[in-house]
Amino acid sequence: MISRFITLIAAFVVLLTGVVHAEELNPVVGKTGDFVLREADFDRLLSNLSVEAQKAIQGSVEQKNNFIRQLLLTKATAAKARKEGFDRKPEFKELVSNLIDQFLAQEYLSKVIVANVAVTDEEMKKYYSEHEKDFLVPEAVKVRHIFISSPKDSAIELKEKAKAKAESILQLIRKGEAFDKIAKEQSEDTDSAANGGDLGYLSAGKTNSPEFEKAVLGLKPGEAAQLVETSFGYHVVKIDERKEQRTASFDESKGYMQNLLREQNKQKAAQEFLDRISRETGLEIAGEKSAGAK
């Protein structure tokens, strides 16, 4: 009898340990009234948000706590509304029914009708041959600059001082001083200065300064550094590399075409299904019928 009692106690301890362990794996992250929000619930609700929103919330304790607070406040408010009978009102039931219908329709389209839509190589080859102009990669130059600020509304003496500084930097570069070293030390564009003045590849229409764009696109790799004046100030510029205009290859463009054509095929499949179900269910709109009769 005693041994049986001890066995029952041992079993209870094991069971309790299992419950505690489960709670450790799925801890409580918040609660309101009788509602308890656990980590697994939080993760599931978070997964319904956009990838950008998920990253923002996961990357900040404050953002995570704000999201949890919103969830709990929604639960608390909904509980109060139920207590006061809002969920039993006919207009509320109709609203919920409509929302469920919309959700079901969207889920069916995405999980059944367009879920397995694919893109073939033949489709991509056809699109590539018919849209060759879409795959033109414009001429681009790899630019470095050392920037000295002098906004167009600056006083004359300040503009002259900025120009003199830029001209002295230009002379140092032309005498053989390392461009990246001076950029790190003296450029007022701190973002590019950290990378030795590197602005990356620029092409026509991709800058906010037409005068800067015109000047750098006219330079050649290896050509001596030049001084360019813009509405922002003075730029000592040089070109590291030039890429001529070309057409992106089929293989380079496959990712773009797959995404584009998949979306087009999904839209086509969804529309074909909606057209078919309209015929099968005898869908009619009284206003359209009357307009057609006229």
What the chain holds in terms of domains, given with CATH numbers, is: 16-80 (no CATH), 89-135+249-294 (no CATH), 139-244 (3.10.50.40)
* pLDDT value of position 198: 95
Of 61-65, 87-91, 201-205, which range is least confident? 201-205
Token readout for 109 is 């389209």
Task: For the chain, give the percent of residues with pLDDT over 90.
Answer: 78
Q: Kindly provide the b/e burial profile for residues 42-74, where b requires at least 16 CB atoms within 10 angstroms of the residue's own CB.
A: beeebeeeeeeeeeebeeeeeebeebbeebbee
Chain-centre distance for alpha carbon 265 = 23
> pLDDT at residue 11 above 60?
no
Predicted confidence band of residue 16 (pLDDT cuts 50, 70, 90): very low
Question: In which element (H, E) is residue 187 found?
Answer: none
Per-residue DSSP letter, 30: E
Contact 125, 250 (CB under 8 A): yes
Torsion of the alpha carbons at 249, 254, 256 and 258, rounded to the nearest 10: 150
* pLDDT value of position 25: 80
10 Å CB burial of residue 229 (0-12, 13-18, 19+) is middle
* pLDDT value of position 220: 86
Per-residue DSSP letter, 110: I
> pLDDT at residue 15 above 60?
no
Cα dihedral across residues 205, 211, 213, 219: positive or negative: positive
